[in-house]
C-alpha cells in the first residue's frame, strides 16, 4: 500500500525561487560539454560520424549556455543578497571564473564544428562576440577574485584548494582559442595584434598559476584530506597544464606565414619544447588525481556538481596531446589524445546523467545543507 506521504505530490517551486541557489559553478557543465566538441574534432584521422556528433554536442552546449545565462541573470535580479554572498564566500567566489571559460569554450566549438550547421560567417561572428565577452570577464575575474581573497575573504594556507585556480585559468582559455579568429581578421597588424595579445594572456595565466599551484600542492600534502565532495577538484590542476599546451601549439599554427623569421619558427619550437614536459607532468597529476578520487569513492563520495571537474581539464589535455601529435609527428600523442578523449566522453556522460537527474528531482537546486 502506498502511504499518503508518498502519494502526496512534490510541491512545485517557482522559477524565481529555483534559481536562488544557482551558483556560478553551474557554468562548469557548459565548459565540460563544449570541450567534448572541441576535443573530438581535434583528434587525428577521420572517424565516421564523429564530426556530426561533435556538432550536436556543440548545439547542446550553446543551449545550455543560453539557459544558464538567463537563469544567472534572474539570480542576480531577484536574489542579489545571495549573489553578493557568493562573491564573499571564499569557497564559491573562484567559480566566477567559469563564466568566462564557458563563453570561450562554446565560441571555439562554434568555429570548429558549429559552422557546419550555421555557416562560417555566422560562426565567426558568434565566436567573436563570445571571445570578446569571455576574455573581458576572464580578465575581470582574474583580478577581482584574488582582490577579494586579499581584502575580504578570511582564508588560511590550510584552506588552499584547486578551486583557487579557476579565475586565473580563464585567460589561458582565451589564449588557446583566440588564434582561431586570426585567419578571419584583415591581414597585417590586426592578425599580429590578436596573436600577440593571446601570448600576453598566456603569460598572465601561466605566471598566476605558478604562484598559486605551490600553495595548492602544499595544502594537499601537509593539510587534512579534502572533503569528499571536493576531491574531484584535484582534476582542476590539469586545466592550466593541458590548456597551456594547447595554447602554445595554437600560437605555432597561427604564426606560420604570419610572423617574420625567426619568430614564426620560434613559436613552433616553443610549442614542442614547452608542451612535451608540461603534458608529461599533466599525466603524472592525472594518475595522482585518479588515485585520490578512487580513495574518496571508496570512502563514500557521492555525486556533486564538482564531478564536472572530470571533464574540461581532461579535455584540455586531449586537445594538447592532439596538437603535439601534429607538431611532432609522433603517433604516440595521437593515441594519447584518443585515450584521453574516451575518458572525457565517459566522464561527461556520467556527469550529465547525474546532473539531469538532480535537476528533475530538485536536489541540485535546493538550499545547501
**Buried/exposed code over 52-75 (b: 16+ C-beta within 10 A; e: otherwise):** eebbebbbbbbebbeebeeebebb
Distance CA(110)–CA(128), nearest Å, equals 10
**Around Cβ 42, how many Cβ atoms within 10 Å?**
21
Please state the rounded mean pLDDT for residues 271-286. Answer: 97
> CATH top-level class for 19-363?
mainly alpha
What are the grid coordinates assigned to 310, written together?
A: 572530470
pLDDT for residue 5: 36
C-alpha 57, offset from chain centre: 15
What's the mean per-residue pLDDT of the chain?
92
**Around Cβ 222, how many Cβ atoms within 10 Å?**
10
- Contact criterion met (CB below 8 Å) for 31 and 64: no
pLDDT for residue 14: 65
Distance CA(284)–CA(286), nearest Å, equals 5
Please state the rounded mean pLDDT for residues 210-230. Answer: 91
Distance CA(117)–CA(124), nearest Å, equals 13
C-alpha dist (Å) from residue 221 to 212, 215, 225, 229, 239: 15, 10, 9, 18, 20
- Contact criterion met (CB below 8 Å) for 361 and 310: no
Q: What is the pLDDT of residues 100-159, one digit of tens each?
A: 999 999 999 999 999 999 999 999 999 999 999 999 999 999 999 999 999 988 888 778
Distance CA(239)–CA(230), nearest Å, equals 16
- Give this prediction's pTM: 0.93
CB under 8 Å, gap of 24 or more: what pairs does 267-273 form? 268/327, 271/323, 271/324, 271/327, 272/324, 272/327, 272/328
What are the grid coordinates assigned to 227, written together?
A: 572533503
The maximal CA–CA distance of the chain, rounded, in angstroms, is 81
- Contact criterion met (CB below 8 Å) for 282 and 245: yes
pLDDT for residue 2: 36
- Contact criterion met (CB below 8 Å) for 290 and 313: no
Q: Which residues contact 90 (CB under 8 A, 6 or more apart)?
A: 149, 153, 154, 155, 159
Higher pLDDT, 353 or 225: 353
- Contact criterion met (CB below 8 Å) for 100 and 138: yes
- Contact criterion met (CB below 8 Å) for 102 and 31: yes
Q: What is the pLDDT of residues 16-62, one digit of tens each?
A: 777 888 899 999 999 999 999 999 999 988 788 999 999 999 999 99
**What single string gives the DSSP state of each residue in 204-249?**
HHHHHHHHHHHHHHHHHHHSPPPPGGGGGGGGGGHHHHHHHHHHHH
pLDDT for residue 270: 96
- Contact criterion met (CB below 8 Å) for 94 and 74: no
C-alpha dist (Å) from residue 131 to 28, 35, 100, 279: 17, 15, 9, 25
Domain ranges of the chain: 19-363
Bond prior to 14 in cis (omega within 30° of 0): no
DSSP tag of 257 = T
Q: What percent of the chain lies above the pLDDT cut of 90?
A: 78
Tell me which of 89-93, 121-125, 204-208 is least confident: 89-93
**Around Cβ 272, how many Cβ atoms within 10 Å?**
15
pLDDT for residue 17: 75
C-alpha 162, offset from chain centre: 13
Distance CA(165)–CA(137), nearest Å, equals 15
Amino acid at each position: 500500500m502506498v502511504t499518503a506521504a508518498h502519494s502526496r505530490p512534490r510541491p512545485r517551486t517557482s522559477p524565481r525561487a529555483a534559481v536562488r541557489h544557482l551558483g556560478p559553478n553551474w557554468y562548469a557543465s557548459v565548459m565540460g560539454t563544449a570541450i567534448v566538441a572541441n576535443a573530438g574534432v581535434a583528434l587525428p584521422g577521420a572517424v565516421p560520424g564523429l564530426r556530426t556528433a561533435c556538432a550536436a554536442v556543440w548545439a547542446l552546449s550553446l543551449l545550455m549556455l543560453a539557459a544558464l545565462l538567463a537563469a544567472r541573470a534572474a539570480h542576480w535580479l531577484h536574489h542579489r543578497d545571495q549573489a553578493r554572498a557568493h562573491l564573499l564566500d571564499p569557497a564559491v567566489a573562484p567559480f566566477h571564473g567559469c563564466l568566462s571559460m564557458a563563453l570561450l569554450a562554446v565560441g571555439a566549438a562554434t568555429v570548429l564544428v558549429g559552422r557546419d550547421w550555421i555557416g562560417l560567417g555566422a560562426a565567426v561572428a558568434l565566436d567573436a562576440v563570445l571571445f570578446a565577452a569571455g576574455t573581458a570577464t576572464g580578465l575581470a575575474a582574474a583580478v577581482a577574485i584574488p582582490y577579494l581573497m586579499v581584502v575580504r575573504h578570511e582564508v588560511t594556507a590550510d584552506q588552499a584548494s584547486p578551486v583557487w585556480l579557476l579565475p586565473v585559468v580563464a585567460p589561458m582559455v582565451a589564449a588557446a582559442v583566440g588564434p582561431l579568429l586570426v585567419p578571419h581578421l584583415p591581414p597585417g597588424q590586426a592578425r599580429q595584434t590578436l596573436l600577440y595579445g593571446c601570448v600576453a594572456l598566456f603569460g598572465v595565466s601561466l605566471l598566476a598559476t605558478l604562484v598559486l599551484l605551490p600553495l595548492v600542492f602544499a595544502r594537499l600534502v601537509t593539510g587534512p584530506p579534502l572533503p569528499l565532495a571536493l576531491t574531484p577538484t584535484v582534476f582542476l590542476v590539469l586545466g592550466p597544464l593541458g590548456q597551456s599546451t594547447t595554447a602554445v601549439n595554437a600560437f605555432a599554427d597561427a604564426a606560420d606565414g604570419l610572423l617574420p623569421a625567426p619568430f614564426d619558427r620560434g613559436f613552433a619550437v616553443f610549442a614542442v619544447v614547452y608542451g612535451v614536459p608540461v603534458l608529461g607532468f599533466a599525466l603524472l597529476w592525472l594518475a595522482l588525481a585518479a588515485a585520490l578520487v578512487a580513495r574518496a569513492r571508496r570512502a563514500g563520495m557521492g555525486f556533486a556538481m564538482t564531478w564536472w571537474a572530470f571533464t574540461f581539464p581532461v579535455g584540455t589535455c586531449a586537445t594538447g596531446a592532439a596538437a603535439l601529435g601534429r607538431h611532432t609527428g609522433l603517433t604516440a600523442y595521437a593515441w594519447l589524445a584518443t585515450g584521453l578523449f574516451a575518458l572525457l566522453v565517459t566522464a561527461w556522460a556520467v556527469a550529465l546523467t547525474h546532473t539531469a537527474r538532480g535537476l528533475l528531482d530538485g536536489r541540485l537546486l535546493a538550499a545547501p545543507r
